[in-house]
Amino acid sequence: MQAHVLEGGFGNIPVEASHAFRAIMTAMARPGQIMEITGAQPPAPLSPAAGAVLLTLCDPETPVFLTEAYDTPQIRDWITFHTGAPSCDPFQAMFALGSWDQLNLAKFSRGTAEYPDRSATLIVEVGELANEGATLKGPGIEGHARLSLPETGLFQDNAQYYPLGLDFIFTNATRLAGLPRTTRIS
């Protein structure tokens, strides 16, 4: 086993994992709020924020799909060692990771009427994460919020499927923002 696989996880697992979990849950409960998340040092090109999300939310029962740019032996081995999460195709993914241009939303589960919670959560690595651009409204947002999204049309379509749909976590360096399916975009 290569040394890089063993490195880059949380140094103080109970403390850093609980801080990361709180940041992720806050970001999903308050769409558009940008949170700092630290502790992970995954292999490139995976950002520390995306690595921390994977370390916090994935385990051997959560299949992960990696897009081409992130589907490297180093990243796969790192995820497997630190979380036990298996790699899968997009149709089986509970989590997917990649840049916006490599994620084909049509391939991911939006859940079913009986089990809407069986939808995928997409971890989208973005070049910029700022409170500007698209206007967000809905649960967890007082009035409205703003978030720099890669586009708006697909997110508007996604919200129409509610209670089905995809959930999104946008990551950049050590920052993240959540966009649950309940959020309306304009």
Q: Could you give the angle at which helices 48-57 and 13-29 cross, rounded to 10 degrees?
A: 100
Tokens of 137: 């409204």
CA pair distance 118, 100, nearest whole angstrom: 21
Closest CA to 123 of 185, 40, 186, 184: 40
Average predicted confidence (pLDDT) for the chain = 94
pTM exceeds 0.85 for this model: yes
Q: What are the structural domain ranges in the chain?
A: 3-185
Among 16-30, 45-59, 147-161, 163-177, the range scoring the smallest mean pLDDT is 147-161
Residue 171, φ and ψ in degrees, nearest 5: -125, 145
- Note the pLDDT tens digit of each residue in 73-121: 999 999 999 999 999 999 999 999 999 999 999 999 999 999 999 999 9
| pLDDT class of 9 with cuts at 50, 70, 90 | confident
Categorise residue 17: left if φ over 0, alpha if ψ from -120 to 50, beta otherwise: alpha
- First-to-last alpha carbon distance for the chain, in angstroms, is 48
Highest CATH level, class, for 3-185 = alpha beta
Instruction: Work out whether the CA dihedral 91, 125, 33, 157 comes out positive or negative.
Output: negative
Residues 6+ away with beta carbon under 8 Å from 107: 90, 91
Closest CA to 133 of 170, 86, 160: 170
CA pair distance 62, 85, nearest whole angstrom: 6
Give the Cβ contact number of residue 74 at 10 Å. Answer: 15
CA pair distance 144, 130, nearest whole angstrom: 15
pLDDT at 3: 54
Tokens of 159: 């919200």
